[in-house]
Structures are given as C-alpha cells and as structure tokens.
Amino acid sequence: MAQPVTFMATNSSFGHQTPAIINPMYAAEDVVVADYVVTEVPYRADSTGVQDSTAAIQSALYDCYDSGGGTVYLPAGNYLVANTIVKNVKGTVLYRSAVAYNSSDVGTWENITFNNSYWANAGAAYHAPNLATLNNWTRANGIAFTFGDLEWEQFFGLACSDYLYGINIVAGARISFCGEFLWANYL
C-alpha cells in the first residue's frame, strides 16, 4: 500500500508545488493531499518496479524541502530504489512517515527529523493545531520510522519526538533488520 510521506520543511529547483486531493488505492481515514507526485512530470518515477526510481523520488523530496514543505506522494505500485540516499528531511508526520522495506544494497539515511513543532509553528496559513494537540495524537498513533527486511542500510542523524513508536522494526521475508545506526536521538 502506498503511504504518503508528509513533511514541513524550509527553503524549488526542478518541480513545482501543485496540491491535489488524491484517491488512494486503499481507503484512508482522512483526505490525502499530495503536493508532489513522483510518477508525474517532472519526476516520472516508474511504479512498475522495472526502472530505477531513486533519482525521481529524491528529486521530489528535495523540491518539497526547498519549497518550504508539503507532501510527497508515491501512488500504489512497486518502486525500484537502487541507491537509497535520503537526507535533510524534517517535518511533522501524523501517522506513519519513513517506511523502508526489502533492500539488500547499501543505503544511506542522513539528518532526518520528525517533530510536531514544525507544523504547530507554521502559522495560520497552514491551519496549524496547537503543539499539545499534535503531541497527544502522535503519542497515541504515530510511527516515525518503520524498517524491515533491510541489509546494509546506514542511518545517521535520525531524530524524532512524541511518537507512539520512534522505530518500528517489522519482519521481512529474508531478514528483519541488519542496519547500522551511527547516531540517533529518540525522545
């Protein structure tokens, strides 16, 4: 099931923000709004799993970050990510954020921070709820990171606070998790 990855960030180079309501393949409890859809122009990620989508997904993440935040959406499908390099991501994630599963190549995750203060302090234009409301909800429902069936992944500078689970390790077909945390901060 494709899950939206939601962030609030700071600082667009290639893409442009075009918010749209998405009808996901599986029912969601809330409206899904996508600012950047990785299968659309200019990213054109391949959702069949045949072509490497690493650069397309990373470009959408960078554009989201550079434009000041939003939602990067991966429609249902299979995405071949041959070289995982996820870095400099920060934001508020309400339910589930970074999910990495089924990788047997070296991947790098650097400087990823999930904290409710990003949205709570975004201002009236973003209809931001107060921090206490966000914290209460994510402490009861939120998962900052989900990892499973990973080999050779390296994680540096991961930080999250006020989530039910900071890291959720799930069983995979080959292995649950065989990665390396070089620095992590979970509050």
Span 2-47, pLDDT tens digits: 343 333 333 334 455 667 787 877 776 767 778 889 999 999 999 9
Mean predicted confidence (pLDDT) in 72-93? 80
pLDDT tens readout for residues 169-180:
888 777 777 777
Token pair, residue 142, equals: 């939120």
Domain positions in the chain = 1-79, 83-187
- What is the pLDDT, as a whole number, of residue 5? 39
Name the maximum alpha-carbon separation found in the chain.
47
Helix (H) or strand (E) holding 139: helix 131-141
Mean pLDDT for the stretch of residues 119-130: 81
- Rounded Cα gap, residues 42 and 38, in angstroms: 8
Q: Does the pLDDT of residue 137 top 80, yes or no?
A: yes
pLDDT of 163: 93
Q: What is the DSSP string of 58-102?
A: HHHHHHHHHTTEEEEE--SSEEE-SS-EEEEEEE--SSEEEEEEE
pLDDT at 12: 37
**In this prediction, what percent of the chain has a pLDDT beyond 70?**
83
- Per the model's pLDDT, the better-predicted residue between 27 and 114 turns out to be 114
For the chain, what percent of residues have pLDDT higher than 90?
Answer: 20
